[in-house]
Chain A
C-alpha cells in the first residue's frame, strides 16, 4: 500500500516515513505544500498523511483541491487540539486527524484503518476461504497454519485481497507497492505471484493474461 506524507518539518516527515515503511507501506515524502498537492492529485495513493500548517500551500488548500478530484483517505496532522479545529478539518474532507505530538503506533494503526476503509473493507481480518489475512498483525494463515511471507509478498496479497473480485493491473500493483524512488520495472511482480502460489496454493491468484491479476 502506498502512502504520501506531506510535512514541511523534514525530521518529522522522515520519522513518519520510516514508521510507515516498517509497517510495510511504500511511502512518498513531500516537504512543501505545492509538491504535496501535485503528488496527491497525480498519484492514486492508498492514504495521505497531511500536515495542516505548511509554509506555501496550506493543508486546507490541498484538502480542498484533492477532494474535487479524488476520494483518497486523508489523515490530518494538526498542532491544534481545540474541538473547533478537529470539526473543521473533518468537515473540510479529512477522514481522520492526529494531534501533534503523536505516538508512532497510533499513526500506523490509523493509516492501516484508513487504507482498509478506503478499499471498502472495514474488518481487519480478510478471509479468502482457507486463507486468512490479518491486516493489523500483517500475518497470513493457510488452513490454520501461519505462512511466512516476505513484506512485498504480503503487500501484494493484501492489495489483491482488498480489491477482491476486481482486476488489478500490473501498473496498479507498481503504483501501490513501490514508492517513487524504487525503479523496479522488471517482471518482479510475476516473481512475487509465483512465490504466493507456491506458499499458499496454485489457485490463490488468477492471472488474466495481458491484463493483470485477480483474487476471485
Chain B
C-alpha cells in the first residue's frame, strides 16, 4: 500500500480537518475565558483606581503611602507620579512610570493606569496568578480531551474507510483474474449496496461485452479457417490421388473439375474476407456518382439469368425509376448477393420478386423469395460472417458464407440499412433502404 492510496489520502485529510477544527474550538474557548477573567479584574481595578484617585486628590501627599495602603485591599499594587514624572508613592519600588492610559498584564499582575489633571499618573494592579493557572489548567484539559477525540476519530475513520474500500480490493482482484484465457469470472455484488455496486455492475456488463466479442472473434477465426482449409484439403487430396491412383484421362478430368470448384470457393472466401477487412479498416473507398438503381437492377437480373434458369426460378421486377448517390460497382455487388441468395434459396420452379420504389427521400429495394424461409432464431445472426442457416444445403453451392455480411457493409457505407423479414415456410424478404438523390 502506498501513501497515495485512497485510504491514506482520506485518512490524512480527515485528520487535518479534525485537528484543525478542534484547535480552532480550543483557541476560541481559551481566548474567551481569558477575556472574561481580565474583564472581571479590570472592573475591580476601575474601582481601586477611583479610590486611589480620591486619596490622591486630597491636598497633602505626605502620608499618601499609608492612606493608599489602607484604602486598597492587601496585596494590591499601586503607584502615583506627579506632573514631572517623580514617583510620589508606590507599593512596589521598581514600578516604571506609566506612559499611556489603559489596562495591561505584566507577568502575573494586571495593571490599570490613569492620567490625572496636571500630568499626574495613578497605577493600580492586582495579582492574577490564580486566574492564569486556571487558564493553563483548562488548556491542558483541552489538549488531553482533544488528543483523545483525535485518536478515536482517526481510528474509527480508518476502519470506516477500510470497510468502504474492501469491495474495491475485491473488484480489483476479480478484474485481475480476467484475461484472454479466462473471461468467465464476474465480480460478486453480494453484500455491496452502495455506489460500488453500480461500478461492479458496469464492469460486469463490460466483461460480458468483452467475452461476447472475444467469442465472436474466436468463432470467426474458426469459421474462416474451416472455410479456407477444407477446399485446400480437397485440392491437395485430389491432386495426390490423381498422381497415385488415376489411370484414365476421364478420371483425371474429373479430379481437375473437383480441384477447380474447390479453388473457386477458396477464391470467393478470400475475396470476401479481403473486402470485409478493407471495410473494417476504413479502406473501402466509394467511387461516388449518381446511380440509376432501375438500370442497375435490370443489369443484375441479366447477370444472374443463368443461375435462375438452372434452378428454374422466375425473377420478377416491379421497378420505379429511382436514383441514389453511391458507388455503382459496390452497390451492384451488394444487390447481386441478395439476388443470388434469393434464387439459391428458392425451391426449383419458385419465384423471386424484386420491387424498387421511392419513399420520400429513400429508395427502397425489396427482394422476396418463395423459399423455405428463415427460422426466427437465425434472423438476428443472418448478417454475421460465415453464418449459415442450413449449412448442409448451402455448402458446395459456391457461396462463401460472407455475401450478406458484405451486402450489409456496403449498404451501411452508403448510409443505408438492410433488414430481413421472414417466417418459416413463407419465404424471406430482404429490404434495402438507401438515401435517394
Binding site for B on A (CB under 8 A): 8-12, 14-16, 18-19, 22, 31-32, 53, 55-56, 77, 79-81, 99-105
Contact = CB atoms under 8 A, between A and B. Distances in A.
A8 B234 contact: no
A101 B236 CA distance: 7
Interface centre among A56, A77, A102 (most CB of B within 10 A): A102
Interface string B258-276: 1001100000000000000
Nearest to A102: B233
Contacts, number: 80
A72 B234 CA distance: 26
Given A32-B392, A55-B392, A80-B222, A18 B232 contact: no
A210 B237 CA distance: 44
A100 B230 contact: yes
Interface string B221-264: 01001101111111111101100110000000000001001100
B261 A101 contact: no
A104 to B, nearest CB: 4
B390 interface: yes
Nearest to B226: A79
Given A19-B237, A79-B222, A101 B392 contact: no
B433 to A, nearest CB: 32
B36 interface: no
A104 B237 contact: yes
Contacts of B238: 11, 15
B398 to A, nearest CB: 13
5 contacts: A9-B395, A15-B237, A53-B222, A100-B232, A101-B232
B395 A103 contact: no
Contacts of B392: 8, 31-32, 55-56
Given A8-B392, A56-B392, A22 B244 contact: yes
B396 A12 contact: no
Given A12-B230, A22-B245, A79-B222, A55 B395 contact: yes
- Classify the interface of chain B: helix, strand, loop or mixed: helix
Given A10-B396, A55-B391, A56-B392, A80 B237 contact: no
B258 A11 contact: yes
Contacts of A11: 234, 238, 258, 261-262
A19 B226 contact: no
Nearest to B394: A55
Contacts of A8: 391-392, 395
B201 interface: no
Contacts of B244: 22, 104
Interface in B190-240: 222, 225-226, 228-238, 240
Nearest to A99: B229
A9 B240 CA distance: 18
B358 interface: no
Nearest to A34: B392
Contacts of B388: 55
A100 B395 contact: no
B27 to A, nearest CB: 71
A100 B228 CA distance: 9
Contact of B229 (A32, A101, A105): A101
Contacts of A80: 222, 225-226
A9 B241 contact: no
A56 to B, nearest CB: 7
B391 A9 contact: no
A6 to B, nearest CB: 13
A80 B228 CA distance: 11
A14 to B, nearest CB: 8
Contacts of B395: 8-9, 55
